[in-house]
Amino acid sequence: MTEGKKAILYLEDGTVYKGSGFGYDGEKAGEVVFNTALCGYEEILTDPSYAGQIVVMCYPHIGNYGINHRDAESYRIWVEGFIVKENSKVYSNYRAKSSLSDYMRKSRVAGLEGIDTRALVRKLRDKGSMKGIISTRDFNTASLKKKLGRHPSIVGVDLVDHVSSTGESVSSRYRPSAGKKKTVAVIDFGTKLNIIRHIKEQKAGVKVFPYGTTLRDLLKSGIKGVVLSNGPGDPAAVTRGIDLARELIEYNKRNYLPVLGICLGHQLLALAGGCSTYKLKFGHHGGNHPVKNVLTGRIEITVQNHNFCVDPRTITRDFNVTHVNLNDNTIEGIKHKRYPVISYQFHPEAGPGPHDSVYVFREFMEMISAKKK
């Protein structure tokens, strides 16, 4: 057990935070980001979009309802490290199967508690996200600085290769629902299980395809629509995903195949359509981000988890902007002017978070049904 053991966080700007460790006894490095959600730590830990990152929770008391495994968004933890003000030593929930600390220890994920998380979040907000290393073994700052210097940035790195299921593992990780007239392909760039659940709730079949799938592969399977999923890291480095998005746009010039992009999938569609992306100062991570639908004027409280965004200065004539973030006016949704292609930067599937945007899946299925016979 690591609880109570001395632990340290060293940031690349030289700042040190000393506290106690929990979870895995060792060292883990990654980009340090903060999440503003009040609960849902199991979903956050298991979201593949967090690959390569150390997550700081703004809410001070974490772990009080344990881990139940039913709320997981994938088959494993993806965060490199987890930082909280207080890790609850006692958990209470009728569904709980283990403590947060035990779950992290078995998954070899390092945790840090007992530091001033408000001060850390303020630093990240003011200076931007930065690399950091958690250690329960090495407390020499010169040594930690060298280790962190060898750790790569997430910029320019294709992290999807790390999280996507392979051809052999797709069926074991995600249960296909065949036999449906309307079967949707989900391209696994690091998909959350809730995306699949919401598609199935629309009475559609689902087939999950690994990263590297081509348009030819999809067309042979007889699918009626394509979802480009969420995923981690720099979208510009996900070249095979951009290639597929470009193929899908081109295919719709003479055919009809609705496409929905979510988070990373949204960025890939924008890049394929001639737009550019850029890295945000500290990213958007949490379950309380206000977004305005510019078509209806409706305000949605959304779930967000991304470090990169579509540059509004590069939106081409082919797209209309449909949603904007009310905190910083960043682009949250685009729609192709001629083809059945829509995409959203926020997470309509939530998990954790509000359900204001689940209508996206209904509208996507209506696009599929709109195909002329």
Antiparallel, parallel or unpaired: β 331-336 and 341-344: antiparallel
151 φ, ψ (degrees, to nearest 5): -80, 130
Rounded Cα distance between 122 and 185, Å, is 41
CA angle centred on 163, ends 173 and 105, rounded to 5°? 85
Could you give the C-alpha distances from 195 to 35, 38, 147, 256, 296, in angstroms and in order? 20, 21, 37, 22, 24
**Set 27, 263, 289, 306: catalytic member:** 263
CA angle centred on 14, ends 8 and 20, rounded to 5°? 10
14 φ, ψ (degrees, to nearest 5): 95, -5
**Set 113, 300, 332, 349: catalytic member:** 349
User: Can 263 be counted among the known catalytic residues?
Assistant: yes
Rounded Cα distance between 341 and 266, Å, is 10
User: Can 61 be counted among the known catalytic residues?
Assistant: no
User: For residue 210, what are its two tokens?
Assistant: 């690994």
User: Can 198 be counted among the known catalytic residues?
Assistant: no
3-state secondary structure of 73: coil
Antiparallel, parallel or unpaired: β 27-35 and 130-135: antiparallel
Rounded Cα distance between 105 and 7, Å, is 15
**Set 289, 306, 336, 347: catalytic member:** 347
In this structure, which amino acid lies at residue 236? A
Could you give the C-alpha distances from 170 to 190, 192, 215, in angstroms and in order? 12, 13, 18
Question: How many other C-beta atoms are found inside a 10 Å radius of the C-beta of residue 96?
Answer: 16
User: For residue 307, what are its two tokens?
Assistant: 């470090």
**Long-range contacts of the stretch 88-93 (C-beta < 8 A, 24+):** 88/61, 88/62, 88/63, 88/64, 89/3, 90/64, 91/63, 91/64, 91/65, 91/66, 91/67, 92/64, 92/65, 92/66, 93/65, 93/66, 93/68
Torsion of CA 10, 263, 252, 223, to 10 degrees: 100
Task: Give the catalytic positions in this structure.
Answer: 263, 347, 349
